[in-house]
C-alpha cells in the first residue's frame, strides 16, 4: 500500500464534490436584483463556492494531507468532507451528505478504472484543479492557495516512477473495492450495470507511448526481431496526439476528471441490493479496530485547520436537500422491477345504495381536517423543493 495516495484521493473527491454542489446551486440561482430576501442568488452561490474551496486548500490542511500516511477509512474520510462542505453557510442533512459522498466516490472510482496508465491519475487530479480554479470568484488569495497545491503535486509526484504510480492506483482500487452504488447519470450513459458494476470499454484511447494492438513480434537472444505476425484486434483504438501536460498550465489531453455535470441532468444515488430504508453508503465494519485511536488522532490533526462557518446575525444557514426523497426512490425502484400479471380488481358501486351514501357522508364529515397555518419560508426553501424533484 502506498503512503502517498491520500492527497490524490482527497483532491479528486473534492473536485467531484464541487462539481455537484456548483451544478445544483446554478440550477436554482437567480439574478440578485430580482431576488427576494428568502431566495437563493448567484452571489450566494459564488460565496459558498469560495468558502468551500478556501477550506479545502487551507495551508494547515494541505500540510497534514501531504505527510506520508495510510489512507483513512471511508467513514473517517466522509467526516472530513462533511466538515469541508460546512466551511460555508450551507448545511446538508445526513442523508444528503451520505448520497453526496457516494456520488463522489463512484465518479472517481470510475475514473481510476478508466485511466489508460497509472501515471494518468495525476492528469485526472490536474483536470479537477483546473476546473476548481474556474469556480473561484474575485478571491486572489484562494486562487493562490490552489496554485500552491498545484506546485506541491508537481514536486511530490512529478518524478515518481511508473511502479510507484501503479502502487498508488492499486491502493485507490483497494479503497474503492466492494463499493457498488448505482448512480443515475452513469446508468443512463450505460457505463454502469444495474448491480452497480462498471462497464469497461474494450476500445478507445490508448496509453501514451504505446502502439496499436494487432502485431506479435518475436525476438532472438540478441534482441533482434526475427518474426512478425499480424492479427485482427476487432477494436476501435485511438492513439493520443500528444502526452498530457504535467505543468501548472497546459493541455491535459485526458478528459477524465472534467466536469460531467456541465449539462443539467438529474443526480441521484441508490445502493445496489440494499434495502430502501438502509443508508446508501457501504456499512463499515463495527468490530473494534486496534488502530482506531491512532486514526482518530491523525484525523484530528488533519481537520485542525478546517473552520466551520457559523452564520452570524439574522443570516441563517442554507439547509439543502440534494437528492431524491425515500418516496421517490421507492417509486423509481417499482418502475425498475419487472411487471407482474395484473390482479383481479373488485369494483364496489356505493352510489347504488342511498342509505349507505348518507352513512358514508356522515363518517367522512368526522374526518375533516382543519386547514393548517402556512409556515414561514426561509431563504433556500424553493431550493429545497427543487432538490426534492430530482
Q: Cα dist. 343→340, 346, 349 in Å?
A: 9, 10, 19
What was the pLDDT predicted at 279?
37
The residue-averaged pLDDT of 350-370 equals: 59
Q: How many CA atoms lie within 13 A of 267 on its CB side?
A: 29
Alpha-carbon gap, residue 136 to 124, rounded angstroms: 19
- Per the rule left: phi > 0, alpha: psi between -120 and 50, beta: everything else, 158 is alpha
The model's confidence at residue 31, banded by pLDDT at 50, 70 and 90, is: low
Q: Which of 116-130, 254-268, 308-322 has the lowest mean pLDDT?
A: 308-322
What was the pLDDT predicted at 303?
56
What was the pLDDT predicted at 286?
41
Domain limits, the chain = 6-197+250-327+380-388
Grid cell, residue 167, equals 502502487
Tell me if the pTM is above 0.85: no
Alpha-carbon gap, residue 242 to 209, rounded angstroms: 9
Alpha-carbon gap, residue 53 to 71, rounded angstroms: 22
**Pick from 34, 5, 235, 35: nearest CA to 118:** 5
What was the pLDDT predicted at 36?
54
The residue-averaged pLDDT of 121-136 equals: 96
Amino acid at each position: 500500500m502506498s503512503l502517498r495516495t491520500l492527497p490524490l484521493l482527497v483532491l479528486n473527491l473534492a473536485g467531484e464534490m464541487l462539481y455537484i454542489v456548483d451544478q445544483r446551486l446554478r440550477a436554482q440561482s437567480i439574478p440578485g436584483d430580482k431576488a427576494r430576501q428568502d431566495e437563493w442568488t448567484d452571489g450566494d452561490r459564488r460565496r459558498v463556492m469560495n468558502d468551500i474551496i478556501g477550506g479545502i486548500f487551507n495551508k494547515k490542511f494541505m500540510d497534514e494531507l501531504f505527510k506520508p500516511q495510510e489512507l483513512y477509512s471511508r467513514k473517517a474520510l466522509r467526516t472530513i468532507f462533511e466538515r469541508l462542505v460546512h466551511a460555508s453557510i450551507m448545511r446538508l442533512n445526513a442523508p444528503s451528505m451520505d448520497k453526496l459522498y457516494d456520488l463522489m466516490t463512484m465518479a472517481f472510482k470510475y475514473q481510476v478504472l478508466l485511466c489508460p496508465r497509472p501515471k494518468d491519475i495525476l492528469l485526472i487530479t490536474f483536470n479537477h484543479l483546473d476546473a476548481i480554479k474556474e469556480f473561484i470568484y474575485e478571491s486572489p488569495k484562494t486562487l493562490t492557495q490552489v496554485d500552491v497545491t498545484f506546485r506541491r503535486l508537481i514536486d511530490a509526484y512529478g518524478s515518481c516512477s511508473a511502479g510507484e504510480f501503479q502502487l498508488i492506483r492499486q491502493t485507490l482500487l483497494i479503497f474503492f473495492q466492494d463499493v457498488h452504488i448505482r448512480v443515475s447519470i452513469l446508468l443512463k450513459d450505460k457505463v454502469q450495470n444495474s448491480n452497480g458494476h462498471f462497464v469497461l470499454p474494450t476500445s478507445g484511447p490508448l496509453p501514451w507511448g504505446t502502439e496499436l494492438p494487432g502485431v506479435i513480434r518475436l525476438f532472438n537472444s540478441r534482441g533482434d526481431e526475427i518474426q512478425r505476425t499480424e492479427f485482427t484486434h476487432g477494436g476501435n483504438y485511438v492513439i493520443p496526439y500528444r502526452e498530457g501536460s504535467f505543468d501548472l498550465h497546459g493541455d491535459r489531453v485526458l478528459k477524465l476528471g472534467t466536469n460531467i455535470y456541465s449539462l443539467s441532468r438529474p443526480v441521484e444515488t441508490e445502493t445496489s441490493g440494499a434495502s430502501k430504508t438502509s443508508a446508501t453508503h457501504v456499512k463499515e465494519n463495527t468490530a473494534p479496530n486496534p488502530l482506531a485511536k491512532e486514526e482518530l488522532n491523525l484525523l484530528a490533526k488533519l481537520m485542525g485547520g478546517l473552520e466551520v462557518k457559523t452564520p452570524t446575525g439574522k443570516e441563517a444557514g442554507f439547509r439543502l436537500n440534494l437528492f431524491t426523497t425515500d418516496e421517490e426512490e421507492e417509486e423509481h425502484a417499482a418502475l425498475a422491477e419487472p411487471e407482474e400479471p395484473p390482479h383481479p380488481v373488485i369494483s364496489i358501486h356505493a352510489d347504488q345504495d342511498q342509505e349507505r351514501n348518507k352513512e358514508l357522508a356522515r363518517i367522512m364529515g368526522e374526518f375533516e381536517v382543519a386547514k393548517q397555518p402556512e409556515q414561514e419560508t426561509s431563504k433556500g426553501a424553493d431550493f429545497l423543493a427543487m432538490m426534492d424533484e430530482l
